[in-house]
Structure 1
Amino acid sequence: MAQTTDYYANNPLIHRDRRLGNASSEWVRSFSCENLKPLIVCRGPIRLEAMTVYEEMGISHYGILLSEKDSIVYPDALSPELKRLTDTSRVHRVPDYSGASKEERVERINQIISIARDNGYDSIFAGYGFMAEDDEFVAAIEDAGLKFIGPCAATQRAAGKKDEAKRTALQVNVSVTPGIDNVTARTLVSKYPSREALLSMVKAEGLTVDQKVLDDEKLSLEELADRILFASYEKGIDLFSIDELCAQVEKECAEMFRNYPGARIRLKAIGGGGGKGQRILGASLLTKKNPSDADIKKAAADAPELTREVLLEVKANGVGDNKNVLIELNIEQTRHNEIQLLGNGSWCIALGGRDCSLQMHEQKLLEVSVTQEGLALEIEKARKDGLKDQAAALETDLKVLQRMEEESERFGTAVGLDSASTFECIVDRDRHYFMEVNTRIQVEHRVTELVYKLKFTNPEDKDDFFIVESLVEAMALLAEHKDRLPRPERLPRFGASVEARLNATDCSLSPSAGGVIRNWSKPIEGEIRDDQGICFPNPDTGLFMRYNVSGAYDSNIALLLTKGDDRRASYEHLAKVLRNTVLRGTNLATNLEFHYGLVNWFLGQNVMAKPTTRFVVPYLTLVGRLKEEAQKIDVVYAFISMKKHFAKLYGGDKETAKAASETLDRKGTLLTRPMEVLLGDPHLLSGWLSLNRRSFAIENGKLVWLRNPLVVLEETYAYLNMSYDATRPAAEVIWSHDNELLQGALKFYAQLREAFGLDKGEFIKLRELLEQEEPQGGYDQKTWTAIREAHCGYELGNELFGMLFMIASKTDFFDFRVEDDLEVTIPEYLHDPELQAAMKKVLVPPPATKADEIVTPGGGMYYAQEAPGMPPFIKEGDHFEAGQPLFILEVMKMFNKIPAPFAGTVDKILIEGGDGVIVQKGQPIFKVTPDEKFVEVDPKELAREKRAQTGEYLAAVL
């Protein structure tokens, strides 16, 4: 335990005494949880967090559940927490956590309850995944006489099921997204279109439905159908086929397209979560204000296939499963905001908001705190700085946040919330719509813990209280002392916080499973790293232990958090954390560089910006364009060409030409090394360009420096974590002779600024003075001549570095920007699906393949058919067209249809073992005969083209 404490000594979220039993107050001691005996039924960072918090609370008898899938299917992915929990009697194993089918799920529930009973556990904690929102699981736990550390089964049913939650929201005057929440009931009514037909069916199927319900003629057919459907779930039978459901969904989607022209529709399985079980259709109608019936019919025709996908993804396609799917208007320009809730069944308190708009594949990437105190501070600063539009926008946000918090508490009280949950909304400027409630703790809950703490006060003595800073601790308290806990007061803690999800994804943010982490740099001061214990060293050797990033679950590796007095401070510290994080491994891909580029993009623009959920894909498309342009530049060729340019320019003066050549040679690696790093990673380039958007201007097609390029160069080395450090390998930092040259130049300009009374930002004025032949500032002619010559030497060649800014000009990089009112302007062309797909391939080129093969674009689990019982996508001998789905690759719980890259015929299927086989990136799947012969490009021709393009870039800066 000592090693763990030392390793995370700077983490303000852990390692404090939470043992209330040690308090001097009898009232506080009465809330001790030391007798709680929980079984932790979850994985990832939340499992380690629960272990840590429980130990700090004095809970000694806790156990954890491990899935054998962790260690059998994915070697070296065994839970790293076992470096801490070495008592094998408290480690329990199951084949997997939730089962692959309804039958297996029931079996697993019974198995988990048996493990708890047989080993003396009195409660179960399910974290933020798997079975945390399964009301049947929670009900079974309660029926077994065990406590569930989370919302009770009644709350799970009322708030956790998306359709029920939406109906409750309407009843308590909560704003909801327009749409349909009872398509299964409508499907049943379509099949049995009268009360008599429905009642006859109930009798024929032997369903148990309350007679009062059957006799109540005030119930509409759809309401009656809903009650009948719940009886069918109890009996485990289907009253309609999936085909009939899909047909009804298609019909409802068509009607919504007519009612909301120019909009898309979102399908959401009621049991989905974490972005799973959701699909969007109607992209073809986005630009059509008056779509024709043919347009609508074509768009709605995608609904059946997407409905099957969402049901399959949440495992609700079995007999007797509740297959209800929400059909909602997709609010296009929205932000995703959520409110943290806590309740005990009688009171409910909101703990501020989190903006989770920066997401992709419905998976959140970057989450920031949103509090009334924080917004009030930013409003005051904006007013002081004369930023009227920004102040007005923030005032709107404050009003929306206040309304969301009020509505969330009202909703929580209505459903009897008795633990932690999250009230999720979509926000459109000054409006918001309730989306769903997650009846569990969220991955990003620590964002809230950093900005608020809870003060529980004795109702009979205001000086008698205790403080809770952990939501996991609060959930344990509620499980043990629910009814007795008084409503707490929320107290501000730190001003702002931000969390980046470090995921196993490639450069285009597609999941990338199977990599091995072999080394991870230690956390820096102020870094909060939740990594499931991956970074815990071997307790015997103190060395880092390799870790296999499993593909069985989601793509998250760790959660990286920072806090600060305000949002900018928290972003700046996160940038520092990301800059200093070094991850090394085998076949390892992460989104570390994406986060670093993105965080610095906002630091260069405005951290209070209001990006929508549609931000990330066009942003990635723009980053792809950066890479496309960056690939056109050969830095070495550019440097040699620049030397030739100056040799020709000074050709009439051999001494000057020789001096210029020698100067350029001394500066060569100083300039080219950071350029090559930036050109090699478009995410780094994106962040750097944003930070430097005021460092240059383009005048008449030529680059003009607005800041001292050598200052920019020094900042660039720092940005790339390449500042001079004698303790680090030379390959990772600026070389010592380059550093001496750079520091000498910076000292030279600092002395000149002091002599002329100029500040660091007045480079243009300094340059204008240095252009004067007549001595300035009281210098004599000889000294002034030497100063000007030194200036020319220091300036010489900096044009090369300016080529990076020309990439921004070529790609219209700065047209993607934050406006004065904090809205983000995204150029329309970046929403083009074809361009997005093309830039995805630029960011991550397809794996090398032979002309007669089709290979997997990544590692994962192979499926030849869309769902069990359905025909395969393709068979041997079949012809396929470009873009036609050929198979499904499941990567970290995301089901990806892999399209054909070209047209051809399948000669042989190479996968053995059928569905569920694990495949590696680049593994051949089919032997094929393509329709067209592939023509290889001559590498020499590519090199000639690249030199020509480099020459064009260089001409713009010289």
Structure 2
Amino acid sequence: MNDLYMNNPLIHRDRRLGTSDSAWVRSFACEDLKPLIVCRGPIRKEAMDVFEEMGMTHFGILLSEKDSIVYANALAPELRQLTDSNRVHRVPDYTGASKEERVERIGQIIQIAKDNGYDSIFAGYGFMAEDEEFVAAIEKAGLNFIGPNSRTQADAGKKDEAKRTALQVGVSVTPGINNVTARTLVKKHGTRDKLKELITLHKLDVDANALDDETSLEDLADQILYASYDKGLDLYSIEELSAQVQVEVVAMFKEYPASRIRLKAIGGGGGKGQRILGASLLSLENPSEADIQEAAADTPTLVREVLNEVKANGIGDNKNVLVELNIEQTRHNEIQLLGNGEWCVSLGGRDCSLQMHEQKLLEISVTQEGLTEAIEKARNAGRTAEVKALESDLNVLRRMEEDSTKFGQAVGLDSASTFECIVDRDRYYFMEVNTRIQVEHRVSELCYSLKFTNPDDPNDFFIVESLVEAMALLARHKKKLPKPERILRFKAAAEARLNATDSSLSPHAGGMIRYWSSPIEGEIRDDQGICLVNPDTGMFMRYKVAGAYDSNIALLLTKGEDRLASYLHLSKVLGKTVLRGSDLATNLEFHYGLVNWFLGQNVMAKPTTRFVVPYLTLVGRLKEEAGRLDTLFAFIQMKKAYAKKMAALFPDDPKMAKEMSSILDRKGTLVTRPMDKLLEDPHLLSGWLSLNRNNFTMENGKVVWHDNPFVILADTYEYLNMTYDTAAPAADVIWDHDNELLQKGLRFYSTLSQRFNLGMHEFDTLSDLLTKEQPQDGFSVEEWGQIRSAHMGFEAGLELLGMLFLVAENVNFWDFKVEDNLEVTIPEELNDTDLQTQMRKVLVPPPATKADEIVAICGGMYYGQEAPGLPLFVSEGMHFEKGQALYIIEVMKMFNTVRATFSGTIDKIIMQGADGSIVQKGQPLFKVTPDEKFVEVNPEEIRLVKREQTTTYLKAVL
């Protein structure tokens, strides 16, 4: 299909539509559009590139002070590309810290646009892209907003209004309460007359039709509240709102036993402004009143947290919070939408279930064409359960696409948006609409392009492959654009979000990127320009990962003819990516392990949004168990075992034992270096184990190989990106003498496999042949003896690799699996919250501290109280209990409440700075006296435990 389009001279693919031979195509040129880009991150760089390619010569970017001032070396990397200082404009920050500052910032941005000749504003996928007040102000100022208009923002962008619209057009929604602020007002004032008195008292502009007796009290209260927001008034306090939310939470706990409740600020996005209550009730089918009240007790605290996080805690802010049933076994699917106010088209779906802290990590395309092909492949392979599961997905996708376009037309969608849903087996529930382009939009771009055709001439059309380009076209030409046809590009695409997080996926700010390997062939990397070299020297420039921003550093994308191909390519991209720096932590290894876990299982699997935390817990258990092994000790003990074995086999020929000892010595680092790397990083180990899960069995307590350990060793070097490379640091790749031995062995097995007409991995058959003393396939007795001897020499010592399988066996790694029906089975023990907390500490041990100190768990902004005006969490001389809140740390725009891991007394508050002060990981905050004395572990005891466990493992592999 792509070749057909590429070779058709009538198709205009150049983004400079003004250069087309077709007058109709030229009429959609955007060269005269003059946009100001008021966002940051990968989308700012992408917008710059697309606008340039569209022929726009007058576009500029907005910089926050945090781009260049607050965080040294966090200078916006895009400035290496946009060197005209007249097109770079600065503000203190993007949205302001309060409502007053936000209003001030909106005015400043509009004035910047007017003063510098910009006629439009592009806000990407930042918060301003969904700010109805911001968009309305832009429209009022006579500027174009490259995104959905203010009416769409109001009807679809606010989560409460979106749910009401969805109900009106017949779309299934998540059970819950969407008008808790109205209920708060009704509870406070009680009667219709008292509500009407508010209108008179505050001179509120309320529609007269809302005042008749047919309007419910809650609907009247809603009308009054919206009028109060326009006047900047608060008609209820946060305390009154929190109390009402708590009432609703208790009622929902009673209506839906053994469930959790989700609180969502209506203006949240990207995982911000959301909290979940009720973990303690999940295992209780008939909770008592006391159980329910205890589970709901944190509601007021969480309401404040979500409002703080989305900056909706000021006077006159709409503080509505959705109270929703948290559907536990759910997948997060979404549909890409595009409209012009009259028509609306969908561009397939994306599965975003793999997420943590409500933020997406790995996003996979879901297309009707891809599912149809996968169904056919599964049917041909006789996998009936998989066929049924995929057919269910295809039916749900078709319904979601149909309903999403219906919703888009209902709200007059005139740009790009995303229709977000939760999928529960063969049902789906509408969740919210993101009235902006999304971080993962390229996943859809890679699957579909848009064909705009002249209504008067079917041979006159142009193709658009960029959603940013489509948004610009819509902003410039609006309803003039005909409804496009979606054209398949690739059947599958995948995106991994490279985030500044540690091994437990907790935010890690402040690291310095000093080196980043170049993209490999077929890799699509959106890195906001970090990889742009210094334009003067051609050298890579250092980049500071600033904690004031979202944790995303880059987006890594691949595409393919099916999901397997996109996963395989993504695995290669992740494996070849090298990032180096100081105090730098990313989720690169997590992604590599996760992608390979699915490759080893089934890439069509249906993980739910609850997948990642138990998966991380399992990875933590891998690390804990791997830490009990000593590969050097194992190698020495193995040599001793071989010496005894050779002495028993050749009692009259001591040279045989010496020769075997020499062979093993030459293989020491060949075997132990990749093993050590896998044991040191449990994410890498998880992926490796999954890929090799069918290559062994346990028989009578022993590891039995079903694939050639030598070939697997070579594959392991490839998997770890340690293949021979003279240009790479020796510490990162296989060493010369080890590579020589490895290649020699591979040549041996390749030649032997070809002789027997076998594949390199058909080890069971080859092994059976080599056990025969009688020469096979025409080999002479002497040749056969040499072949068997060489085989023994190449395989000797590789038994140690089998210890990796024993690590997995000991933590029940294989019980976490994808079933035939594509559902993921998660062992119940991995859902234990105490174990999850414990394993997070195993993955990332707490910062070193004295027994009488509490230190900052990570870098970020410190807050000693829940909200301004509320009491401090701790004071000197107070006693605190395990689990009690001690402080809040804001990192990567997320507010994390840090709780005590033990009980004790606060002796002194060391952290005396004002709220919002920046702290570093490990910085002492409080001097304390723990209730229980800490006992240090003796290093000798650790060494003895490791040797004991290693000895036990050796018995199963030798």
TM-score, structure 2 normalization: 0.97
Partner in structure 1 of residue 568 of structure 2: 572
Asked if 1 retains the 8 angstrom alpha-carbon contact of 2:173 and 2:430, the reply is yes
**Equivalences for residues 469-488 of structure 1 within 5 A:** 469-488=465-484
> Counterparts of 1:915 and 1:93 in 2: how far apart (Å)?
25
* Identity fraction in percent: 72
1:12 corresponds to? none
- Find out whether 1:686 has 2:686 as its counterpart: yes
Identify the residue that residue 703 of structure 1 maps to in structure 2. 703
2:720 is aligned to 720
Match of 1:914 in 2: 914
Cα pair 1:99 1:108 within 8 Å, conserved: yes
Tell whether the 8 Å contact from 2:204 to 2:227 is kept in structure 1 after alignment.
Answer: yes
CA distance in 1, matches of 2:601, 2:774: 41
- Counterparts of residues 444-463 of structure 1 (less than 5 Å): 444-463=440-459
Residue from 235, 238, 241 that aligns with 2:231: 235
Residue-by-residue CA offset, 1:779-833 (whole Å, 9 max, x unaligned): 3333222222222212211111111111111111111111111111111110000
Q: Are 1:133 and 2:130 an aligned pair?
A: yes
Contact 1:351 1:490 in 2 (8 A): yes
Paired residues of 1:853 and 1:928 also in contact (CA < 8 A):
yes
- The match for 1:5 is none
Pairwise CA RMSD of aligned residues?
A: 1.2
Quick one: distance in 1 between partners of 2:60 and 2:540? 25
- Alpha-carbon distance, 1:208 to partner: 2.3
1:467 is aligned to 463
Residue 564 of structure 1: how far off its partner (Å): 0.9
Q: Which AA in structure 1 matches 2:167?
A: L
Task: Supply the distance in 1 between the matched residues of 2:112 and 2:494 (Cα, whole angstroms).
Answer: 38
- Structure 2 residue aligned with 1:77: 74
Q: Are 1:504 and 2:500 matched, yes or no?
A: yes
- State the match for 2:421 in structure 1: 425
Q: Distance in 1 between matches of 2:241 and 2:732?
A: 59
The answer to whether 1:404 aligns with 2:400 is: yes
Q: For residues 317 and 198 of structure 1, what CA distance do their matches in structure 2 show?
A: 23
Q: Does 190-199 or 619-628 show the bigger shift?
A: 190-199
The aligned counterpart of 2:260 is 264
Offset, 1:776: 2.8
Q: In the alignment, is residue 665 of structure 1 matched against residue 661 of structure 2?
A: no
1:853 aligns with 2:853: yes
**Partners of 1:889 and 1:896 within 8 A in 2:** yes
CA contact (8 A) 2:749 2:760 kept: no
Aligned to 1:195: 192
Structure 2 distance, partners of 1:88, 1:727, is: 39
**Residue aligning to 2:742:** 742
1:611 aligns with 2:607: yes
Q: How many residues align?
A: 943
- How far apart are residue 599 of structure 1 and its match? 0.5
Of 325, 330, 350, 2:326 maps to 330
> 1:544-596 CA distances to partner (integer Å, 9 max, x unpaired)?
00000010011000000011111111111111111111101010000000000
Q: Secondary structure at the match of 1:427?
A: strand
After superposing the two structures, state which structure 1 stretch, 199-208 or 414-423, moved more.
199-208
Counterpart residue identity of residue 929, structure 1? T
In 2, the alpha carbon distance for the partners of 1:550 and 1:833 equals: 31
- Name the amino acid aligned to 2:859: G
Identify the range of structure 1 (548-557 vs 292-301) with the bigger mean alpha-carbon deviation: 292-301
Query: Counterparts of 1:425 and 1:508 in 2: how far apart (Å)?
Result: 27
| Alignment correspondent of 1:298 | 294
Q: Which amino acid aligns with 1:412?
A: G
Please point out which of 17, 25, 42 is paired with 1:45: 42
Residue matched to 1:524 = 520
Counterparts of 1:111-260 in structure 2, within 5 Å, are 111-214=108-211, 216-260=212-256
Q: Which residue is equivalent to 1:281?
A: 277
Alignment of 1:768-917 (within 5 A): 768-917=768-917
Distance 1:496 1:538 in 2: 35
- Offset of 1:947 from its aligned partner? 1.1
Structure 1 residue identity aligned to 2:88: V
Whether contact under 8 Å (1:250, 1:300) holds in the other structure is yes
- One-letter amino acid of the counterpart of residue 646, structure 1: Y
How far apart are the structure 2 equivalents of 1:920 and 1:142? 43
Take 1:212 and 1:778, find their aligned partners in 2: how far apart are those partners? 98
Equivalent residue number for residue 386 of structure 2: 390
Whether the aligned pair in 1 keeps the contact of 2:13 and 2:462 (CA below 8 Å) is: no
- Which amino acid in structure 2 is aligned with residue 481 of structure 1? H
**In the aligned structure 2, how far is the partner of 1:434 from the partner of 1:43?**
29
What is the deviation of 1:205?
2.8
- Counterpart CA distance in 1 for 2:728 and 2:868 is 55
What does the per-residue CA deviation read over 1:689-719, in whole Å, with 9 as the maximum and x for residues that have no partner? Answer: 0000111111111100001100100100000
Partner of 1:489: 485
How far is the alpha carbon of 1:16 from its aligned partner? 7.5
Aligned to 1:3: none
- What secondary structure is seen at the aligned counterpart in 2 of 1:416? coil
In structure 2, distance between residues paired with 1:779 and 1:478:
74
Contact 2:80 2:534 in 1 (8 A): yes
Q: Label 1:485 to 1:934 Cα distance change in 2 as closer, same or farther (>3 A).
A: same
- Is contact 1:16-1:56 (8 Å) kept? no
**What letter is aligned with 1:109?**
I
Partner Cα separation in structure 1 for residue 292 and residue 729 of structure 2: 61
Q: Which amino acid in the other structure matches residue 294 of structure 1? A: A
- Mapped to 2, the partners of 1:454 and 1:789 lie a distance apart of 63
Q: Distance in 1 between matches of 2:333 and 2:33?
A: 34
Does 2:353 align with 1:320?
A: no
In the alignment, structure 1 residue 344 sits paired with structure 2 residue 340: yes
Q: Which residue of 2 aligns with 1:354?
A: 350
Q: Which moved more, 1:736-745 or 1:403-412?
A: 736-745
- CA distance in 2 between counterparts of 1:339 and 1:857 reads 38
* Aligned-pair CA distance for 1:137: 0.4
CA contact (8 A) 1:133 1:440 kept: yes
* Other-structure match for 1:87: 84
Q: Which runs of 5+ in 1 are unaligned?
A: 1-14
CA distance in 1, matches of 2:759, 2:462: 51
The answer (yes or no) to whether the contact 1:97–1:130 under 8 Å persists in 2 is no
> In structure 2, which of residues 30, 40, 49 is the aligned counterpart of residue 33 of structure 1?
30
Matches of 1:213 and 1:150, distance apart in 2? 32
Aligned-partner residue type, residue 90 of structure 1: R
- In 1, distance between residues paired with 2:81 and 2:738? 46
AA at the equivalent of 2:715? E
| 1:647 aligns to 2:643 (yes or no) | yes
Q: Distance in 2 between matches of 1:846 and 1:861?
A: 18
Contact 2:861 2:917 in 1 (8 A): yes
1:529-608 map, 5 Å: 529-608=525-604
Name 1:733's counterpart in structure 2.
Answer: 733
Residues 870-900 of structure 1: per-residue CA shift (max 9 Å, x gap): 1110011211122211100101011111112
Q: 1:116 is aligned with what amino acid?
A: A
The separation in 2 between residues aligned to 1:568 and 1:945, in whole angstroms, is: 42
1:54 to 51, 55, 58: 51
Supply the distance in 2 between the matched residues of 1:234 and 1:747 (Cα, whole angstroms).
Answer: 77
Offset of residue 910 of structure 1: 1.5
Whether the 8 Å CA contact 1:268–1:278 is kept in 2: the answer is: yes
Higher mean C-alpha deviation, range 512-521 or range 943-952:
943-952
Aligned AA (1:253): V
Query: What is the Cα deviation at residue 309 of structure 1?
Result: 1.0
Contact 2:348 2:444 in 1 (8 A): yes
Contact 1:594 / 1:683 at 8 angstroms: preserved in 2? yes
Any idea what SS the aligned residue of 2:399 has? Answer: helix
Do the aligned partners of 1:517 and 1:583 also contact (CA within 8 Å) in 2?
A: yes
